[in-house]
C-alpha cells in the first residue's frame, strides 16, 4: 500500500486519488491487527484507521470492487467472490476510537462539498426532503390545490 498522504481529490476532473492496496488471504487479519496496534500505541492521528473508514465508506456494493480493481486501487490476489473482497473493509466499520486525520478529512470535505453542490444531487435531496415524504407530499398537494382554487 502506498502512503495515505497520497489521497487527494481533483475538483476539476472530479477524481479521487487513492493509494493502491493489495488484498490477499491475510489482509483482514493484518488490517485488524494494525488498526488495533495503531490505536493503542499512536499518540497522533490514526491514519490507518481513518483510511479503513474511508475505504469502508467507498466500498458499499458489489459494483464498487470491480471499479476499484479496474482503476488499480484494489489489487485482488484472492480467489474469492466480489462481496468477499469487500469484507475486510466493511468488517472494519467499528473503529476502536474515532479518528481525525486533518489531511484526509480535508479531502473528504472537498469531495462532499463537490458532490452536494451538483444540481442533480440538490434536486434529489429536495425531492426526498419535501416531496416524497407522504405527509409533506400531502401538504404540498393541498397547498398547491388551494392556490389553484384561490386563483380560479
120 to 81, 100, 110, 114, 116: CA distances (angstroms): 33, 30, 18, 12, 9
Q: What is the mean pLDDT of each run of 10 residues along the chain (152 residues)?
A: 75 87 81 84 80 84 83 75 70 63 87 85 80 74 91 89
pLDDT for residue 112: 86
pLDDT at residue number 149: 93
Alpha carbon separation from 152 to 12, 13, 40 (Å, rounded):
49, 50, 71
Given this model, what pLDDT does residue 98 score? 62
- What ranges make up the beta strands (E) of the chain? 8-10, 15-17, 21-23, 74-76
The reported pLDDT for the residue numbered 35 is 83
Give the predicted TM-score (pTM) of the model. Answer: 0.70
Amino acid at each position: 500500500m502506498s502512503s495515505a498522504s497520497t489521497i487527494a481529490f481533483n475538483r476539476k476532473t472530479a477524481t479521487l486519488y487513492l493509494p493502491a492496496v493489495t488484498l490477499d488471504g491475510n489482509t483482514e487479519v493484518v488490517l485488524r491487527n494494525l488498526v488495533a496496534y495503531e490505536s493503542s500505541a499512536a499518540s497522533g492521528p490514526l491514519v490507518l484507521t481513518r483510511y479503513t473508514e474511508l475505504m469502508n465508506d467507498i466500498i458499499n456494493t458489489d459494483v464498487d470492487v470491480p471499479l476499484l480493481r479496474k482503476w488499480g486501487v484494489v489489487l485482488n490476489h484472492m480467489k474469492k467472490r466480489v462481496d468477499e473482497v469487500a469484507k475486510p473493509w466493511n468488517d472494519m466499520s467499528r473503529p476502536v476510537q474515532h479518528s481525525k486525520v486533518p489531511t484526509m478529512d480535508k479531502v473528504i470535505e472537498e469531495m462532499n462539498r463537490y458532490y452536494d453542490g451538483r444540481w442533480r444531487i440538490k434536486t434529489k435531496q429536495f425531492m426526498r426532503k419535501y416531496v416524497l415524504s407522504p405527509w409533506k407530499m400531502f401538504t404540498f398537494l393541498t397547498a398547491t390545490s388551494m392556490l389553484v382554487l384561490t386563483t380560479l
